Every structure is written in C-alpha cells, then in structure tokens.
Amino acid sequence: MDIVGIKLSEALGGRGCPVCRAMEKFEEDEIEVILYEHVTDPGVRTKFRESLGLCTRHAWKTLEVALKNPLLGPLGVSIIYEDALDVYLRGKREEGECFLCELVREKEKILIEALAERLDELLPEYGSSQAILCRRHYAMLAEKIKDKPELLKKLEEVQMKKLMELDNRLKAFIDTYDYRSARKPTEEEARALEDTIEFLKGRPVVMSTGRENRRGRGWLFGLK
C-alpha cells in the first residue's frame, strides 16, 4: 500500500466519516500554518482583505484554533482582523470568496479521488471499521466509481449494512427511555445519535464546501 493508501487506512480506523475527519484535520492544520508563518505575508493578507476576513465559519474557526494553542494566542488573529476592518472602513463592502473554503473544497476532491482509486483494497477494511461515510461523501465516492458496477454494488452493500446497524443502535437507545426499561444504554447506543447526525449532515467542515446551497443526490438509498 502506498503512502496515500496508508493515510486513508488510518482515517478509516476512526469513527464517523473518514473524509469529513480528514478534511477537519487539514482545515485546522492550514489555519495553524497561516497563524504561525503567514500573518504578515502580503499574499495571504490580500486574500483575507478580499473576503473581509474569511467566511463566517472560518473566521470563528481561526479564532478558536488560535485561542486553544498557547503558542499562538490572539495576536495573529487580531493583526489579520484589524487589517480587514481597516479595509472595510476605507470603503470595501463586497465580500469575496473565502480562500480557506477553496482549499478545503480542493482537499475534499483529492480525498474522494484517492479513496476511489484504492477502494478495491480499502473496502474490506471499511466494512470492518466503525467508520461510516457521510451521505455527501458516499454519494461523491459512488459517482466516482459508477463505471465499476461490481465495486459500486459492494460499496452499497457495505454502506447499507452499516446504516441498518446504526438504525438498530439508535432504536435501542430510544428504547432505554421507555419507563418499562430497566437497562441503561450501552456506549455504542449512546453514540448512535451523533453518528446518525454525522451520516445525514456530515461534519461542520462540509459547510466550507457550499453544500448547504445544493441539493444532495437523491438516488442515495432514496434519501433526499
């Protein structure tokens, strides 16, 4: 297995959508690089000015990353946003594209393409893992392998099995709240709600892809 395959295999080892999780790590790493190395970089400052300080999500995410890292703190973010505010005060009103959103979208495409290229090798590992591709990324992956009907059928079978198990866990969790039930939910049952939301909506990072402005692919198991 090549280096990219190893990285994908590691992503499959966790919970939730491996593509979303990899995008989140990439997003946070990029923000840290900007705050460590590029606060005064003219090209980066221009990109911040063009978007009046990034999109709403990435503005708050940048501050969050800075404040939780004692080696960063609020200084770099303050410099960036003083500059953005100054540009606004000098008359800029149009908000351009968030360049972090552009980077995240490109990373998403790369991840899906890499996963599609190696799916034959990684599908058994995905099937035995706790990972569940979110609705969006399952659809994107299925689209990439539509010219391989046998592989697509195997992927759909694995995904459906995972979703049926998830549905059973969530129902079992709900049942523990019945007044007649004497048992507490298991750890897996307690995680079912979060896992279900992650499957249906993805992680917050997918907001960077503009997905909220587009309808999902309706052919995915008949779900809209």
Q: Look at residue 213 in the predicted model and tell me its pLDDT.
A: 39
Residue range 143-154: mean pLDDT, rounded: 97
With a cut of 60, say whether residue 26 has pLDDT above it: yes
Q: Which residue has the higher pLDDT, 45 or 224?
A: 45
Q: Look at residue 98 in the predicted model and tell me its pLDDT.
A: 93
What DSSP character marks residue 131?
B
Residue range 70-93: mean pLDDT, rounded: 92
With a cut of 90, say whether residue 197 has pLDDT above it: yes
Does 148 map to a domain? no
The chain-wide mean pLDDT, for the chain, equals: 89
Does 189 map to a domain? no
Does 65 map to a domain? yes
Does 63 map to a domain? yes
DSSP per residue over 61-126, as a string?
HHHHHHHH-TTT-SHHHHHHHHHHHHHHHTT-------HHHHHHHHHHHHHHHHHHHTHHHHHHHH
Residue range 131-156: mean pLDDT, rounded: 97
Write out the residue range of the structural domain in which residue 28 sits. Answer: 3-100
Q: What SS3 state is found at 16?
A: strand
Helix (H) or strand (E) holding 36: helix 18-37
Q: Which residues lie closer than 8 Å to 192 by C-beta, 6 or more apart?
A: 166, 169, 170, 172, 173
d(CA 34, CA 172): 45
Q: Look at residue 1 in the predicted model and tell me its pLDDT.
A: 62
Does 161 map to a domain? no
Does 119 map to a domain? no
Does 208 map to a domain? no
With a cut of 60, say whether residue 223 has pLDDT above it: no
pLDDT tier at 140, thresholds 50, 70, 90: very high
Does 199 map to a domain? no
With a cut of 60, say whether residue 60 has pLDDT above it: yes
Terminal CA-CA length for the chain: 36
Q: Look at residue 200 in the predicted model and tell me its pLDDT.
A: 96
**Would you tell me how many other CB atoms lie within 10 Å of the CB of residue 165?**
14
Q: How many domains does the chain have?
A: 1
Q: Look at residue 210 in the predicted model and tell me its pLDDT.
A: 66
